[in-house]
Amino acid sequence: MDKKKVLIVDDQNGIRVLLMEVFSSEGYATFQASNGKLALEIVRDEAPDLVLLDMKIPGMDGLEILKHLKAINKEIKVIMMTAYGELDMIKEATDHGALMHFTKPFDIDEMRMAVNMQLRGGESNNWYAVGS
């Protein structure tokens, strides 16, 4: 079975490195981009299954990148990340096909579980703690 591919798009290197490490250790092929132009090239070349996309990126913002991603592949899964609580932008991102969003600083385990759920679906249910 081919490895699922995750693309991390954020202008902050530290966040990209952290997420690359987390998702590589989960068994995904990971790619990173610091701007929209590079992100779109990677989407065309590598066809990632899921994109973690920062809302605020210099040049082309997250919404613009999201629209381009969906134009290239309408099936691509996108999770938005934002450092701000711009509800109008989050709503617009959802209207354009983003699945969910995380506000920075996010809980890395919640992010990991969300990505695993999107990419592995019901394949395994060992990510949930069951209360007694």
Q: How far apart are CA 124 and CA 51, in angstroms?
A: 21
One pLDDT digit (tens) per residue for the chain, 132 residues: 689 999 999 999 999 999 999 999 999 999 999 999 999 999 999 999 999 999 999 899 999 999 999 999 999 999 999 886 677 888 999 999 999 999 999 999 999 999 999 999 855 444 444 444
Which pLDDT value is given to residue 52? Answer: 98
Helix (H, G, I), strand (E, B) or coil at 83: coil
Which pLDDT value is given to residue 25? Answer: 97
